[in-house]
Amino acid sequence: MSTAIKQAYQKELFGQPVGLYILFLTEMWERFSYYGMRALLVLYMTASVLGEDDRGIGLGWTDKEALALYGWYTMLVYVMSIPGGMIADKLLGQKKAVLIGAIILCIGHGVLVLTDTWAFYTGLGLVIMGVGLLKPNISTMVGGLYKEGDIRRDKGFSIFYIGINTGAMLATLIIGGVVAKWGWHAGFGLAGVVMLLGLINYIYGQKYLTQVGNYISTKGDVNEISYSQLYSKLFISSKQLIIAVLLILISIYGWYELGWAYGLLFIFLSAITALLMMIYKELDSQIFKDRFLVLLLSFIMVIVFWGAFEQAGGLMNLYTDTKTNRVLLGWEIPTVMFQSLNAGFIILFATVVASFWAKRKLKSKEASSLFKMAIGIIIMGFGFLFMVFAAMEYENSGTSSMIWLVLAYFFHTIGELCLSPVALSFITKLSPIKYASLMMGVYFAATGLGSKVAGIVGESASDFGEYAVFLGIFIFTLIIGALFILILKPLKRLTHGAEDNEREMMEQEPYELADPDINKPH
């Protein structure tokens, strides 16, 4: 391995910085806590207040009410990544932000163990704040472990991504059994215990993270522009100001038509849009401006993808619980366990998908990040075709086979492997360095908006039925993926060769090419 592209100060394990594995384990336990909560949330809210099964007393909400809150929760968890990224950039640095976020998460999960209604809402609020601080900044720290042009970066993100899904798989395999035996709040408590493990691991591993995620003060830097300065410059930028005012007016209209929650969301998004417009205007190079624009356009794919994918924790979760024959060899599989399929498939196929894209790149075939993201949307969309078949079978026989769910989760997983780790790495390649945490926050906010879209779409099943919803998602995702493939060439030109040197680096590094786990697609 060329020492010119390696961080000399970093101790290594299996060819990667040891700090990667510290972040891997921290994220693994954080994702255990999050996906454990995600798997339980809708089921807990819709469970009977009479405690008619061994899981205990639920909230007794309707499916529509539960999916609405699920949408808000999964959205806010990620939208809070924007202020989380800002706080890290301007006040704390990523390392301290992750630490504080982990502590808040532990407290939040601890509160959820309590059975009072106030504890349910308070615990969710604390989890939202904790993830908002931790999630964007720990991902940015992974990118910070590598110098620009280091060919190990994409592979590092894929290893990190396996950590995410190991936590998700363990959560969905274990928590269902815990809830079945000891009740809902035992499941919430287990999520808190494992988050505490993540916090302990992160504190222990600080010695391997000394050179990454530190706060760097920019006071006195004449080239540094604060967020407040960017907003102040909005008032002397006519085009940007007009757009911002129009967005605010639309937000006020939304407040009165849709309620205060949507109004506040629209105002927040208007403020972020104004900030992004001013960042674009202040970038000092057309190359950086073009890359920034491509990055923002790629977030459309992110929103569409997660708007479909997050049906797993909402509508598909309810469908599994009430309309799927879950009996296998005389044993009824707990509903929550089906969500472990996604994580399990990721662990099994992450390297396979990565190697496929790496070989395409070496053969000079199309393997850009944008292309992989578009293909990922299309593949994931085909997963909903199997849910269409499941809905048809249920309408005909009153039940549906679990094989449709397995196939749907498989296609969703392959699509995710083409898009999600790719997008994480793509952001670290195209983002302006001084706004790296903010842009990672915007990415996670885009996934959050996708989650809210998922909740809204899931709610519509009460009016239109699962068949219509699944078919609509299938058709829409195919259209969006195809559109981005059609405009791929002009978008790639706007990246100004941000990924052009990767193939050459792969050819020059026989160590990496010989590695069966090579991961160059992202």
CATH at residue 208: 1.20.1250.20
Are residues 347 and 407 located together in one domain of the fold? yes
Are residues 173 and 235 located together in one domain of the fold? no
Residues of 234-272 as b/e, b for ≥16 C-beta within 10 angstroms? beebeebeebbeebeeebeebbeeeeeeebebbbebbbb
**Tokens (6 digits) for 425:** 């790495």
Q: Are 386 and 340 in contact (CB under 8 A)?
A: no
Are residues 344 and 210 located together in one domain of the fold? yes
Alpha-carbon distances of 294 from 161, 261, 402, 426, 507, rounded to whole Å: 23, 30, 40, 10, 27
What span, in angstroms and rounded, lies between the C-alpha atoms of 345 and 169? 9
Are residues 162 and 303 located together in one domain of the fold? yes
Beta strands 324-325 and 400-401: pairing type? parallel
Residues of 313-351 as b/e, b for ≥16 C-beta within 10 angstroms? bbbbbbbbbebbbbeeeeeebbbbbbbbbbbbbbeeebb
Residue 477 has pLDDT above 90, yes or no: yes
pTM score, whole prediction: 0.76
Are residues 162 and 309 located together in one domain of the fold? yes
Are residues 131 and 249 located together in one domain of the fold? no
Residue 174 has pLDDT above 90, yes or no: no
Does an H or E element contain 17, and which? Answer: strand 16-17
Does an H or E element contain 16, and which? Answer: strand 16-17
What span, in angstroms and rounded, lies between the C-alpha atoms of 463 and 152? 49
Q: Are 103 and 27 in contact (CB under 8 A)?
A: no
Please count the structural domains in the chain.
2
| Residue 8 is assigned to a structural domain of this protein | no
Average pLDDT for residues 48-52, to the nearest whole number? 57
Q: Are 313 and 450 in contact (CB under 8 A)?
A: no
| Residue 185 is assigned to a structural domain of this protein | yes
Residue 130 has pLDDT above 60, yes or no: yes
Distance in angstroms between the alpha carbons of the first and the last residue of the chain: 20
Average pLDDT for residues 141-155, to the nearest whole number? 73
SS3 315: helix
Residue 286 has pLDDT above 50, yes or no: yes
Are residues 104 and 250 located together in one domain of the fold? no
| Residue 509 is assigned to a structural domain of this protein | no
Residue 217 has pLDDT above 50, yes or no: yes
What span, in angstroms and rounded, lies between the C-alpha atoms of 103 and 232? 35
Q: Are 87 and 133 in contact (CB under 8 A)?
A: yes
DSSP 113-136: TS-SHHHHHHHHHHHHHHHHHHHH
Per-residue pLDDT band at 511 (split at 50, 70, 90): very low
User: Average per-residue pLDDT in the chain?
Assistant: 81
| Residue 4 is assigned to a structural domain of this protein | no
Q: What is the pLDDT of residues 481-496, one digit of tens each?
A: 999 999 999 998 888 8
Average pLDDT for residues 216-239, to the nearest whole number? 71
Are residues 277 and 251 located together in one domain of the fold? no
Nearest to 93, CA basis, from 203, 210, 179: 210
Residue 519 has pLDDT above 70, yes or no: no
Are residues 255 and 317 located together in one domain of the fold? no
At 154 the pLDDT is: 67
Nearest to 24, CA basis, from 130, 128, 142, 109: 142
| Residue 351 is assigned to a structural domain of this protein | yes
Q: Are 447 and 139 in contact (CB under 8 A)?
A: no
Are residues 115 and 161 located together in one domain of the fold? yes
SS3 332: strand
Nearest to 27, CA basis, from 94, 121, 126: 94
What span, in angstroms and rounded, lies between the C-alpha atoms of 433 and 89? 10
| Residue 516 is assigned to a structural domain of this protein | no
| Residue 459 is assigned to a structural domain of this protein | yes
**Tokens (6 digits) for 395:** 């309408």
What span, in angstroms and rounded, lies between the C-alpha atoms of 279 and 267? 19
**Tokens (6 digits) for 4:** 């010119």
Flag the least confident range among 308-312, 424-428, 444-448, 480-484: 424-428
What span, in angstroms and rounded, lies between the C-alpha atoms of 411 and 202? 34
Are residues 256 and 402 located together in one domain of the fold? no
Quote the DSSP letter at residue 1. Answer: -
Q: What is the pLDDT of residues 34-46, one digit of tens each?
A: 888 777 788 888 8
Q: Are 349 and 490 in contact (CB under 8 A)?
A: no
Which residues form the domain of 237? 231-263
Alpha-carbon distances of 249 from 275, 443, 515, rounded to whole Å: 17, 25, 55
At 246 the pLDDT is: 92
Are residues 314 and 420 located together in one domain of the fold? yes
| Residue 286 is assigned to a structural domain of this protein | yes
